[in-house]
Structure 1
Amino acid sequence: MTKFARLYNNFQPEHYNIYLDINREKKYFSGQTTVRGYAAVKNIALHQKNLNIEFVAIDEKKIPFEIDDELNLVKFSVEHSGQIAVTVRYSAVLTDTMMGIYPSYYELDGQKKQIIGTQFETNFARQAFPCVDEPEAKAIFDLSIKFDEHPHETILANMPELRVEEGVHYFDTTVRMSTYLVAFAFGDLQSKQTVTHSGVKIGIFATKAHAQNELDFALDIAKRAIEFFEEFYQTPYPLPHSWQLALPDFSAGAMENWGLVTYREAYVLLDPENSALETKQVVATVIAHELAHQWFGDLVTMKWWDDLWLNESFANMMEYVAVDALEPDWHIWESFQSNDIVSALKRDSTDGVQSVHVQVEHPAEVDALFDPAIVYAKGARLLVMVRALIGDDALRRGLKNYFAQHRYGNATGADLWHALGEASGQDVIEIMDSWLEQPGYPVVKASVEDGQLVLSQSQFFIGEHQKNKRQWQIPLHTNYDEVPKLLADEKLVLENYAQLRENAGEPFQLNVGNNSHFIVQYDKQLLADILSQVEALDFISQRQILQDLHLLAEANKVSYADIVPLLGKFMDSPSILVNTVLYDILQDLKKFVQPNSNEESALKSFYDLISQKQVQSLGWYGQSNESNDDQLIRPYVLSAALYAQNSQVVASAHRIFEENILNLQGITADIRQFVLSNEVEYFGNSVIFERLLKNYRESSDASYKTDLRNALANVKDSTLITKLVAKLKDADTIKPQDLRGWVHSLLKNNDAQQLVWDWFRKEWTWLDKTIGGDMEFTMYITVIALVFHTPERLAEFKAFFEPKLNTPGLTREIEMDIKVIASRVNLIETEQNQLNQAVLKLVKNNKK
């Protein structure tokens, strides 16, 4: 297997002078880059990929060079070590891969237009200019760009534009930074701008396909986020501006380029008059995440990709810290509980999952590192655990010192723990090592044995796994004073449980607040004690009981049939925290029933039983006095009622559709998806299908397009399904950035699954060629594994993907997803009859 050729040890760049001449119409660019730096040896190299190198010169003298396509290098020799200036002239084509320099397409007034943007993370800067494309190789950059410029166009970069001479745009010298953070863009853009209290210019930029007011929300959040981080980090934002750019084509969610943050349009633009609260929360947290990176990631950067979590985990935590400060009424940490924690716990329970800190040996493994459930969600949860241990004051002191010591440089995880340890007086690294260096997490079993309270830890798995002796230092966060704060050993025994219970006056609980990365398996006595007083528990504790039981059921450690009778205790909860886990469990029950079977009819009746009271109280439209929780719960209960085929709810959705037939986009955003999906599923025909598909193609509203996709993917007619699948390669209809969402949505439709699975296998080579180098490419495998649950599909999945096991960057995902599907198949076989009987019994008892 090819390993990394680490260039920085041989050549340390100090300054880049980059000139680019870009022609959009011809999809071509040429460039000349001069890199000044220190050569430690005579044989050195720069990274390049897909560049046609015309010449290489050392101190203006042309020299021989060699191209190594396998390692993405241009190699050459110097006469002596020391300071040198390497000049490379080259050319390349612009491609639609959404990597390097690439065009983004959109329509305006029926005309197809494009803007140019960049995406250089992880190692795509080498596709734009020769460089040492490693995070440790920080340098300063002078950028100048010429392009086929049209009147009134805008060009943006990391730093302000200094001047324009003979059509060339010159930008101010950057601060010292990594190559993957360099960015620029140009095209026919609109913007809205403001200034922070400290004088930083804030701007939101987008194409003119959007209404101007779609920029307002992001502008407000970005300004206040920069101001918050300056105060929280006690470190000034180091650049003169912070531009936020919405790109029509963008593979990732967003990218923290220093001073020019780029986003998918869905994550920065929204209609302030008609956007769901959840959409506003998503946009706010994404913006806060990227702006948190301007310090943690940009000012101080991980030394190598094995510490990627340093960037992403921290920004993931700080997005919630910031938004909680900016919009306290949102209670945004509830979203962390419902999304990030669940994502981390599910992913981290499969044998073979990566640890948070992981070695990187092959170039393809860099992009495979971006496992959102681990590097983002789990890492953030571990940092929340640290924050709970040391407190905010120590956290802020430690960060201030960390930034002061490593600003404009690089750091490792140990550097962060050292700074936080000094600030808090605690040995943070000793606790965190067991969490960062080991994959997975523990289940703590709590039981009463011979009158003693016994706590023991072991690694929690869902599915096939290898036995091991892993242990963690677990912050227990118990509500009993006599229990130690940490469980560092395999087992802990406390005498006289009855006395402990009497002293506390309440049921025994672990992980109060749900901040530590473990789950709890209570024995029958302890669980019964908790459930007897469940209404008195706070909502996080209620959620946690269901969350842990759900995971234990997925691992076949408890029976789903025993959980189902408990769900009624939570069905009237006013908390979104409780409702999200309740409906997660209900969603997972679908895998146990066959379509159009008696068991499915019983499950639909159960859905109706659980949701009907909330549907009646919340209705389709929000009330002026309703809570944020009401707004967030409404989509869950309406979706459940529609799955249940509740006749009144189905009829109401149809009526709303007909009342808004002339402006479907104008339907209230938080219910629009369900109205459209209901129409396609129960009242659909080719006329409705064609209209929604046309709206999807023409709309620039990302939220509306998502609703249309979810609706269209529910189509039942085989002819229309065939037509829809045929559109998957039509980039004018379905952008490559949105293709994975379409594949996932269609796979969930039983009537479309076979056709789209056949298409996927047939078009794998095309997919690999089109977006194969992208950091989220493995997610195509993931979304298939999220859906498949039969022995037949497992066999087909293995037959298709096992021959690809040796493909760099895909190995881990394929191995894990085979286990995920196999575990689901085995669970269904074991639990199906018992579960369906439990559901049927509840439904019958309710009808008496």
Structure 2
Amino acid sequence: MTEATHFYQAFQPAHYELYLAINRANKTITGKTTITGEAKQTAIALHQKYLKVSALQADGQDVPFTIDDPAEAIRITLPQSGKVTLTIDYTAPLTDTMMGIYPSYYEVDGVKKQIIGTQFETTAARQAFPSVDEPEAKATFDLAIKFDEQPGETIISNMPEIREENGVHYFDTTVRMSTYLIAFAFGDLQNKQTTTKSGVKIGVFATKAHKPNELDFALDIAKRSIEFYEDFYQTPYPLPHSWQLALPDFSAGAMENWGLVTYREALLTIDPDNTSLETKQRVATVIAHELAHQWFGDLVTMKWWDDLWLNESFANMMEYVAVDALQPDWHIWEAFQTLEAPMALQRDATDGVQSVHVQVEDPAEIDSLFDSAIVYAKGARMLVMVRALIGDDALRAGLKAYFEAHKFGNAAGADLWTALGKASHLDVGKIMQSWLEQPGYPVVTAAVVDGKLTLSQQQFFIGAGKDVGRQWQIPLNSNYAVAPQIFAEKKVTLGDYAQLRKENGKPFRVNVGNNSHFIVQYDEQLMTDILANVDQLNAIDQRQIIQYLRLLAEGRKNSYGNIVPLLPRFAASHSAIRDLNALFRVAGDLKKFVAPDSDAEKQLQA
């Protein structure tokens, strides 16, 4: 029989009983895992990495097994297929790799201490316990932990602790979930807690190296984020608590473990009275991002890692949606336009860049998917584009249906597009296909040709690039009703420009709000009209003009010389987004073309 590509195809776990004895002094883990599930064939496999298996039984009887380290597997031969209970005894090292189960070090009053935490995404749960360590292999978990406990230490996990017997801490049975979302931590921790309107316990945990008030800001943002998402998604938070834990040593920025979210300390614990607004915004968006995952990623999980982009892109969009609702005075969408949009547009203009959706199997390939400019920034722009296209009412209705249909299970990108399409009466899947399966993005050229207003699209490159005729389904979001909602052709003529300009009474523009992932090259007549009325544009749309001109210059579709006369006009603006960063970027590019200490450089500095 041909070996199954994914272990889940051969063996489908339903429930795990996990017992872990952790000795910090000896840096050892002793474990016993019992898995009840359905074997679809007699030759099955479990994932393991760095585990030393001493015994393996099926339904109480010893069965043949081999360790396949290159495949990170335990190969098992069963006497028959069908329902089976596997029991595996093993030991493992407690390492300092910041993956799996690991110690995290800190100091209090000059004394070195440690807490134990976990990081299992993408494929490190197998370092802690044998399992089918794949996102589709959802199961329920009973967790029991014994450790070299000292007085006053705290232990937390995804679910509440229900009892302690003979030094073993037992936690309540989890909901059906993926292995990579299991988490626990223990050590000398402090915490602050509150409760949401719906009764969900919210807590922030950190070492005692922090002042107690450094937990307050995160506690407030976490509480209000959970309340916001319950309302926006129209779907209750499905766990009794949401703990936020700051780890001194942490390889990622934060991790959305269900019910026990882990963070770098700097992204959770801050002094609210002595912290810049920029840092508060960063912490708030990270918390909102991870809590968005509690539904999108945890409640409904991708079937396989090729849809990782969807988890991250959606949470990346929702962090801005949530924080904008919680703190409208922050104008957080302006930060999206200064951080995410430029990153995506710059990276995605390189020939040979990966598409958002890529096929992947090997764990090393899985980790390589975390390209922040594509998976996070471009992906988020895809979702922002969909949100702008269908509106929040359809978005919320579609998400509610999506969560209801797939809760405690798995889904692919197509399932989301189907739900949003039904809610909006648009073929969202067809539109998104053109953006997700091919790299790059278009430049839309808007020009008056023989008196007619015309649009055309072509792939945009910075540097060398081969045009292979790619086309996109472009949500234009024009301020002229005559422009199509979706521009899918290579070229379209909208009508007599003079008449359209008179009827509309304002300059012609597309991608109003800068929500879609494309740039626009206006001809001289149209750009002159826009610039003559630039003061009527909001901060985001003003910045968009600078962004377009800079990118077009980098892509050799415009001259930097055309930008210079515009800089004083934008520099006089009082909005941060219009934008000093954008102006500095343009000025920095222009400096490449002038000699040091020359009159030209002095003019540029002026």
Fold shared by both chains (TM-score > 0.5): yes
Which residue matches 1:773? none
**1:303-318 maps to which residues of 2 (within 5 A)?**
303-318=303-318
Q: Which residue number corresponds to residue 502 of structure 1?
A: 502
Do the aligned partners of residues 838 and 474 (structure 1) sit closer, same or farther apart at CA in structure 2, a change above 3 Å counting?
farther
2:207 is matched with which residue? 207
The one-letter code of the counterpart of 2:126 is R
Matched, 1:548 2:533: no
Q: Helix, strand or coil for the counterpart of 1:186?
A: strand
RMSD of Structure 2 on Structure 1 (CA): 1.7
Deviations 1:456-505, CA, capped at 9 Å, x for gaps: 10111112222211101111111222222221100112332222222222
Counterpart CA distance in 2 for 1:365 and 1:318 is: 26
In the alignment, what sits opposite 2:472? 472
1:313-392 alignment, distance < 5 Å: 313-392=313-392
Q: Is the 8 A contact 2:57 2:87 kept in 1?
A: yes
CA distance 1:842–1:117, change in 2 (3 Å): closer
- Stretches of structure 2 that go unaligned for 5 or more consecutive residues are none
Cα offset, 1:348, TM superposition: 1.1
- Does the 8 Å CA contact 1:571/1:582 hold for their aligned counterparts? no
**1:537 Cα offset (Å):** 2.1
8 Å Cα contact 1:239-1:259 kept in structure 2: yes
Q: After superposition, give the CA deviation of every residue in 1:63-94 in whole Å (9 maximum; x if it has no partner).
A: 22111111100101000000111111111112
1:161-240 equivalence runs, <5 A:
161-240=161-240
1:241 deviates by 0.5
Q: Structure 1 residues 233 and 842 mapped into 2: Cα distance closer, same or farther (>3 Å)?
A: closer
Identity across aligned pairs (percent)?
67
Q: Which amino acid aligns with 2:179?
A: T
* Distance change in 2, residues 1:542/1:104 (3 Å): same
- Give the structure-2-normalised TM-score: 0.97
- Whether 1:248 aligns to 2:248 is yes
What CA distance in whole angstroms lies between the structure 1 residues aligned with 2:342 and 2:249? 29
How far residue 162 of structure 1 moved from its aligned partner, in angstroms, is 1.1
Matching residue of 1:640:
none
For 2:337, what is the secondary structure of its paired residue?
Answer: helix
Question: The residue matched to 1:55 in structure 2 has which SS?
Answer: strand
The answer as to whether partners of 1:4 and 1:362 remain within 8 angstroms in 2 is: no
* Mapped partners of 1:4, 1:58: distance in 2: 20
Residue 330 to residue 36, structure 1, CA distance change in 2 (3 Å): same
**Correspondence for 1:526:** 526
Name the aligned partner's letter for residue 213 of structure 2.
N
Deviations 1:421-455 (A, max 9, x none): 11122221121111111111111011222222221
The one-letter code matched in structure 1 to 2:280 is K
Correspondences of 1:712-723 after superposition (within 5 Å):
none
**Paired residues of 1:473 and 1:487 also in contact (CA < 8 A):** yes
Contact 1:399 1:420 in 2 (8 A): yes
Q: Tell me what 2:149 maps to.
A: 149
Structure 1 CA distance for aligned equivalents of residues 268 and 297 of structure 2 = 20
Structure 2 match to 1:458: 458
Q: Is the 8 A contact 2:136 2:178 kept in 1?
A: yes
Query: AA paired with 2:279?
Result: T
Q: Which runs of 5+ in 1 are unaligned?
A: 603-836
Return closer, same or farther for 1:339/1:4 CA change in 2, 3 Å cut-off.
farther
Instruction: Give the drift of 1:37.
Output: 0.3
Matches within 5 A, 1:223-302: 223-302=223-302
2:350 partner SS: coil
> 2: CA distance between counterparts of 1:135 and 1:4?
16
Amino acid at match of 2:326: L
SS in structure 2 opposite 1:203? strand
What is the TM-score normalised by the length of structure 1? 0.69
Per-residue CA deviations over 1:575-611 (Å, capped at 9, x if unaligned) read 1211244345257438728xxxx94556xxxxxxxxx
Do the aligned partners of residues 225 and 120 (structure 1) sit closer, same or farther apart at CA in structure 2, a change above 3 Å counting? Answer: same
Cross-structure match for 1:419: 419
Q: Distance in 1 between matches of 2:173 and 2:390?
A: 39
Per-residue CA distance 1:342-367 (angstroms, 9 max, x = gap): 11111111122222221113221111
Q: How does 1:541-580 map to 2 (within 5 A)?
A: 541-580=541-580
Contact 1:338 1:580 in 2 (8 A): no
- Structure 2 matches for 1:55-204, cutoff 5 A? 55-204=55-204
**Counterpart contact for 1:441–1:460, Cα < 8 Å:** yes
SS state at 2:526 partner: helix
Deviation at 1:402, TM superposition (A): 0.9
Question: Per-residue deviation at 1:838?
Answer: 4.7
Partners of 1:588 and 1:186 lie apart in 2 by 49
The 8 Å contact of residues 591 and 601 in structure 2, kept in 1 or not, is answered as: no
Contact 1:567 1:582 in 2 (8 A): no
Give the residue type in structure 2 aligned to 1:486: I
**1:34–1:513 Cα change, 3 Å:** same
Q: Secondary structure at the match of 1:95?
A: coil
Conservation of the 8 A alpha-carbon contact between 1:564 and 1:839: no
Instruction: Indicate how the Cα distance of structure 1 residues 52 and 580 shifts in structure 2: closer, same or farther if over 3 A, else same.
Output: farther
CA drift of 1:246 comes to: 0.4
Name whichever structure is richer in helix by fraction. Answer: 1
Larger strand share, 1 or 2: 2
Correspondence 1:378-457 to 2 at 5 A: 378-457=378-457
Using a 3 Å threshold, how does the CA distance of structure 1 residues 89 and 574 change in structure 2: closer, same or farther? same
Task: Provide, for residues 791-831 of structure 1, a one-character-per-residue CA deviation record: whole Å limited to 9, x for no partner.
Answer: xxxxxxxxxxxxxxxxxxxxxxxxxxxxxxxxxxxxxxxxx
After superposition, the Cα gap between the structure-2 partners of 1:584 and 1:14, relative to the gap in structure 1 and judged at 3 Å, is farther
Tell me the amino acid that sits aligned with residue 89 of structure 2: R
The answer to whether the Cα contact below 8 Å between 1:417 and 1:429 also exists between their aligned partners in 2 is yes
The answer (yes or no) to whether the contact 1:160–1:172 under 8 Å persists in 2 is: yes
- Contact 1:459–1:470 (Cα < 8 Å) also in 2: yes
The residue that corresponds to 1:12 in the other structure is 12
Describe the superposition over 1:256-292 as per-residue Cα deviations: whole angstroms up to 9, x where unpaired: 0000000011111111111110111111111111111
Q: Which residue identity does 2:29 align to in structure 1?
A: F
Contact 1:157 / 1:260 at 8 angstroms: preserved in 2? yes
Taking the aligned partners of 2:157 and 2:182, their CA distance within structure 1 comes to 8
Alpha-carbon distance between aligned partners in 2 of 1:310 and 1:406, rounded to the nearest angstrom: 15
What does 1:675-754 correspond to in 2, within 5 Å?
none
Q: Show CA shifts across 1:316-351 (max 9, x none).
A: 111111111111111111111111111111111112
Q: How much has 1:842 moved relative to structure 2?
A: 4.7
The alignment partner of 1:101 has SS state of: strand
Whole-Å Cα distance in 2 between the matches of residues 580 and 248 of structure 1? 34
CA offsets, 1:481-533, max 9 Å, x none? 22222211001123322222222222221111111110011122222222222
CA distance in 2 between counterparts of 1:112 and 1:153 reads 16
Paired position in structure 2 for 1:484: 484
What is the match of residue 515 of structure 1? Answer: 515
* Structure 1 residues 806-821: aligned runs within 5 Å: none
- Structure 1 residues 202, 601: closer, same or farther in 2, change over 3 A? farther
Q: Give the Cα separation in 2 of the matches to 1:551 and 1:148.
A: 58
Q: Which residue of 2 aligns with 1:775?
A: none
Write the deviation string for residues 604-643 of structure 1: whole angstroms up to 9, x where unpaired: xxxxxxxxxxxxxxxxxxxxxxxxxxxxxxxxxxxxxxxx
Q: Alpha carbons of 1:11 and 1:480: their partners in 2 closer, same or farther (altered >3 Å)? A: same
Any idea what the Cα deviations from partners look like across 1:745-769, whole Å, max 9, x if unmatched? Answer: xxxxxxxxxxxxxxxxxxxxxxxxx
- What does 1:699-848 align with in structure 2 at a 5 Å threshold? 838-842=600-604
Distance 1:517 1:454 in 2: 20
- Counterpart residue type for residue 374 of structure 1: I
